[in-house]
Structure 1
Amino acid sequence: MKFVDETTIEVVAGKGGNGVASFRREKFIPFGGPDGGDGGRGGSIHAVADRNINTLIDFRYARLHRAKNGENGRGSDQYGAAAADITLRVPVGTIVYDYETGEQLFDLNQDGQKVTLAQGGQGGMGNLHFKSSTNRAPRQFTMGQEGEQRKLRLELKVLADVGLLGMPNAGKSTLISKISNAKPKIADYPFTTLHPNLGVVRTSPSHSFVVADIPGLIEGASEGAGLGHLFLRHLARTRILLHLVDVSSLDPDADPVEQAVQDAHSILEELRRYDTELYNKPRWLVLNKLDMLGDPADAQARFCQAMNWDGPVFTISALTGAGTQDLVWKLQDWLDEQRRLEEEAINPKPDPRFDRAPQDDTP
């Protein structure tokens, strides 16, 4: 299925039904009085986040969503029926913007979250509401209100705990297929990955995290080169980035470590140009394909020294799985600690000094 992470739609809510001016006319009831009913409410348009949907492809071909109008009121105290609402199901992580102003309206980042995109118009009032002791035969009634109409831009940012970052053919797809349930396309040519892939890494029956793999980045990606710039937004919600570096080289005349350092610097520069907040996210270095070198320890030392890297570094072989289990466990521990700190920030523990039972001073 084609992956679509941005599209534009128009939503038109229904108009409210009109009220009516009517009078009760029956034999032997000369003063029946007003009996005009109200108009029905116009249909509204809602959006709800659904974790079973992972693309905005449905809205690429259905751009206009229009709800029905409410029914007009009738005589004999009959109110018009309200129109049915329309509910649009979108992927979790969808952000709704006003197309004209660019203002962010909603962020649907939880499964089942529901918002109103366009409110239906209220129905008009019948003359039943206007009777009084001085106005016993009112002929006033009101028209139904117009429903809201908006042009919206939908943007999808996938929700993941860990984001994979690297050049094309760095081994990101192989790694996510090795540690998770994702089944991405894997081949020995650049840009095999054409859209983000999500995989669930389960470390125990009660512990897991989500990994996102985006198309590889190349120099100039922040300005539109390659495919990665289209999907960098999907790394914005991640908690941590794994910078995957291929330390082998297809060029026999090039030093593989020197080439890897150049590629790594290119990636970091593209991140900095695209979004400084994304650039400043926690980032771990993962050196892949070390099994293809004669002396992996020496290559790792030279690479870290050339990069001036003093953060966490892991050496793996995504193809054979060597080193991946240790990486997974360290990620799970780090994510659990971050969640614990966030929970404490939201619900701080009470200070035991002020949690003492009151003293009974009764003699």
Structure 2
Amino acid sequence: MASTTQDTVLRAPLEQQYADQLAALKQNDNETAPPSWQLSPRKVLDFILGGQTLPLKQGRKTVDVPITRKFFGDRRLVERAIVTLASERALLLVGDPGTGKSWLSENLAAAISGHSTLTIQGTAGTTEEHIKYTWNIAKVIAEGYHSSNCVPSPTMTAMRQGSLLRFEEITRCVPDVQDSLVSILSDKSIAIPELPDANMVWAKPGFNVIATANARDQGVNELSAALKRRFNYIHIPMVADSATEQAIVKQRIGELSQQYQLTVELQPSIIELLTTVFRELRHGRTVEGVKIKEVASTLSTAESIAMLLDASLHAQYLGAGQVQMESLADNLIGAVVKDDDNDRLALREYLDLVAKRRAEEQPLWNTFYQSTRAALA
């Protein structure tokens, strides 16, 4: 794969963004790794959870490389995912939108296989050819069926390399397409009947599949019983506590600010207020235990990060260099009130019953209340 940097592409693959961290972990890895794995399972866990600093030899000099935390979920959940990928069973990460399923999948692939780009995006238009292989029709017409005229899918490439395949939003695919994975997961092979003399591709050790499924899409195209048996299900919950959610938002906004070269000031109190609003509207209960209307929109941690990034970009290019509550209020309306008028009513009730009371004692909540009321009007 051609080398890319953050200066030449909008978003480089994680194995390149965290190249120093992966190299430091590999240099300090004294444990045995499964076949084709770049790191031992313990070092993969260290990469995902972070929290340490390791030396990295670069020529004649040695530098200290901090291993940052990539996923803030339960340690046991990550351990189960790693152990599953070391076995013959595939891994299915299930959760609400914005819980970090794809992020965890990408980080696991980067740490285990050294690349995270062998990916199939599940949609209603995904076909069996996307999962297995297709043909260069022009060459087939001119030369007939030949192995060099076969266009491999990411699945076939992963099997030949002994790498991980990422299958995003598997439940968005129709059942017939989903079931084309059954033989791949069972026999670890793909049959090519057009090539009688070389009609099988066998997976090398290290091949496995990480799939993700949106919990809200579970009923769209439910997996067959045969396919369910071949996956180990791991449910990714919403972030459990406010402090962890704030830490996630702060770290991710810091990374995005560096990526977008933002110099705006974002006060921690704004992050705290926004995550509090999201959590209360999401759960239908305030921190004081008061029951309120729950919104239908998925107010995930990822949604709050996107809101803060939009507000920071506005402050950088169209504002005064500091995130203003007015900008956040405008974005909040779009996040909460998408296509359900009941969510507008729930937000209005939240402002009148919760935000207004807090506004009497806290200036930031007063600014939030006034700005959001004006945006709703």
The TM-score with structure 1 as length reference comes to: 0.26
Rg bigger for which structure? 1
Question: Would you tell me which structure has more helix in proportion to its own residues?
Answer: 2
Question: Would you tell me which structure has more strand in proportion to its own residues?
Answer: 1
